[in-house]
Amino acid sequence: MVQTVTTTTDGSEMPTLGRLLALTVSGEVPAESVQFTDGGARLQWLGEGALEVTPARGQDLGLDLVLSAGVHGCEVIPIELLDRLIRAIARNEIRPRARLLLLFCNPPAMRQGLRRLGQDLNRLFCGKHAASEPGDETRRAAQLEEWVAAFFQEPDRRRWHYDLHSAMRASVLPQFAVCPWVDGREVAPQSLTRLQHAAVDAVLFQEKPSATFSAHTATRHGAEAFTLEMAEAPEGVWPQCLDEFLQTARGWIEAVEPVRDESHHRPLLKFRLAREIIKRSDQFVLRLPADIQNFTPLLPGTLLAEDEQGVHWLAEEQDARILFPVSDVAIGERAGLIVVPRE
């Protein structure tokens, strides 16, 4: 067990549950599973890496918000972003007016700084874990689904989920979102406005089902859900867009809707998936520079990858761009996406 109050570097105190990241990485169990901020917000430790926050009496504005990070344990920037927000809540610097479920999703991988220990956790949601080889990630996917189902059980409330990631490579468009496909649903303009205020440069709209965490909350619980790929911080230099995101996320926690003003924000580019590059054998080779940036334009005819039996991938689409190129994936998994502008 650990102490119930933590003294911060500036000499102030905050509830120990505000140290959720440190508790998660160390595997410690807090002495108290329920604590309160000075402003009256209730913090409840649900289990390893999971914190539920209830606004102070009379402050709940009817929003249920999930913020998650660490689905891939090596993605440091989103983990740090969520840690900063949790600490600010615990110190009463942010006063929640939304119910919050705050999740560090893959503690074993986070402890080792690895993307995954076995299977890719972000391919095991929507019940896919039940049909997969049992392991740490399948068990964790099931647990995360249970926490989310319990959190979203109250009717007639708005439901949002932002799953924070980082692509682990530079990007022509530094921050972007992936919008999961939901049959028959159109994304509301206000949802895109929120992304613009969070310094998001582009949105990739999926056009078929997937098994990501955001796809799960969108399809199973009707949440407005996005995967957010955050900017990198090369050599420890924190770019302005990450500060802009933090400021906007504070507004989400306080249930403040941004005002749409196109003159003060960069345009939000929209893309759709044209094709996936699938690794089919151990002979698979990406024919792109190792340091190629996400959203790099591809000239028609560019050789992208080769595989056994003479299989090769060429850029064919007009205005195509490459996204998530990586050869170190399991056979049958995607090694890159070819995306094009969405009409």
In degrees, rounded to 5, the angle at the alpha carbon of residue 131 between the alpha carbons of residues 126 and 132 is 100
Which one of 52, 137, 145, 229 is the catalytic residue? 229
CA pair distance 217, 128, nearest whole angstrom = 14
Is 75 catalytic? The answer is no
Contacts of 224 (CB under 8 A, 6+ apart): 158, 159, 160, 161, 188, 191, 218
CA pair distance 328, 310, nearest whole angstrom = 20
Both tokens of 247, joined, read 């400021």
Q: Where is 150: in which H helix or E strand?
A: helix 136-151
CA pair distance 177, 184, nearest whole angstrom = 20
In degrees, rounded to 5, the angle at the alpha carbon of residue 269 between the alpha carbons of residues 298 and 342 is 70
Answer for the pair 98, 254: CB distance below 8 angstroms, yes or no: yes
The half-sphere exposure of 217 on its side-chain side, counting CA atoms within 13 A, is: 30
Both tokens of 229, joined, read 């790929």
Both tokens of 115, joined, read 């993307």
Contacts 24+ apart (CB under 8 A), 56-61: 56/95, 56/96, 59/95, 59/96, 59/97, 60/97, 60/98, 60/99, 61/97, 61/98, 61/255
Helix boundaries (H) for 128-238: 136-151, 189-197, 213-221
By annotation, the residues acting in catalysis are 229
